[in-house]
Amino acid sequence: MSLKMSPKIVTKQLSKRQRIILQLIEDDAFVTTNEMSQKTGVTTRTIKRDLEYLQEQRILAREGGRKEGRWILMID
């Protein structure tokens, strides 16, 4: 049995960079990993790792393809 955590508890456990990524996505659901990399000052590989983690935690989802898709925040 798994316990559901409230969005406030989940986001407190995220790194500052991961919270910035979520803010960028909230501002623009079509933001690219390259744009996130430039705005955060880290490599695209680091961004991809963070995005994978956020998806595994069910905080973030991807809808559509790699080029034409968009990000969906799963928490408020």
Give the CATH number for residue 62. 1.10.10.10
Residue 56 belongs to domain spanning: 7-73
CB atoms under 10 Å from CB of 9, counted, come to 9
pTM to 2 decimal places: 0.81
Q: What is the rounded CA–CA span in Å between residue 26 and residue 55?
A: 15
The answer as to whether 2 is a domain residue is no
Q: Report residue 73: phi and psi, to 5°.
A: -80, 130
If pLDDT is split at 50, 70 and 90, which confidence band does 10 have?
low
Number of domains in the chain: 1
Q: What confidence tens digit (pLDDT) does each residue in 30-70 have?
A: 999 999 999 999 999 999 999 999 999 999 999 998 888 99
